[in-house]
Amino acid sequence: MDIFIKLPVVLVLIFIVFSLFQGMYYLSKDDGENDRTRVVRALTIRIVLSFVLFVMLILGYLTGILQPHGI
């Protein structure tokens, strides 16, 4: 049962990191006014995915699927 919440969380984290590196690549390689929209789009996707991840973690905690544990 844990895999149904942990797998999407890990996938969203991977997409967040990919979008971050994509934005960094566009920022360093693109020139001109028209190419800046690709940087903004990549970073907007990262922000939306981060929000989705946060909501997934909160819902998982509130429904009891994710349990906090001590060290």
**Residue 64 φ/ψ region, left for φ over 0, alpha for ψ in the -120 to 50 degree band, beta for the rest:** left
For the chain, the average pLDDT equals 85
Task: Determine the 3-state secondary structure of 23 from DSSP.
Answer: helix
pLDDT at residue 20, as a whole number: 92
Q: What is the pLDDT of residues 31-63, one digit of tens each?
A: 766 667 888 888 899 999 999 999 998 988 898
pLDDT at residue 70, as a whole number: 67
Domain boundaries, the chain: 3-63
Q: Looking at the whole model, is its pTM more than 0.75?
A: yes
Over range 19-39, report the average pLDDT: 81
Q: What distance in Å separates the CA atoms of residue 9 and residue 57, rounded to the nearest whole number?
A: 8
